[in-house]
Amino acid sequence: MGHWEDTFWEVTESINKKGLKKEIDAQIEKMRYQDKHRYKETRDKWRYAHDKVVKENSNGRNTKPSRKTY
């Protein structure tokens, strides 16, 4: 991947251009308490959060879908 700074710069530039700062921050905060992300390096967490939020927003999905109860 390259240097640590490159990853942080790429993620930061991308989220600023797309206006997804709140969503990224919320995803990183959620990941803080999930066991599967506990031992990941910070840059890997940022990259995962970035990819997930960008994917969700590219599908036109800004929030979790509501569950329908029948």
Where are the domains positioned within the chain?
A: 15-57
Write down the pLDDT at residue 7: 85
Look up residue 22 and give its two tokens: 């709140």
Write down the pLDDT at residue 1: 47
In Å, how far are 7, 17, 30, 51 from 10, measured between CA atoms? 5, 11, 21, 12
Distant-in-sequence, close-in-space partners of 18: CB < 8 Å, separation ≥ 6: 54, 57
Count Cβ neighbours within 10 Å for each residue of 47-58 and write b for 16 or more, e otherwise. Answer: bbbbeebbebee
Q: Kindly give the residue spans of alpha helices, DSSP state H, lying in the chain.
A: 4-18, 21-31, 42-58
Q: Could you report the per-residue pLDDT of 6-38, keeping only the tens digit for each?
A: 888 999 999 999 999 999 999 999 999 999 999
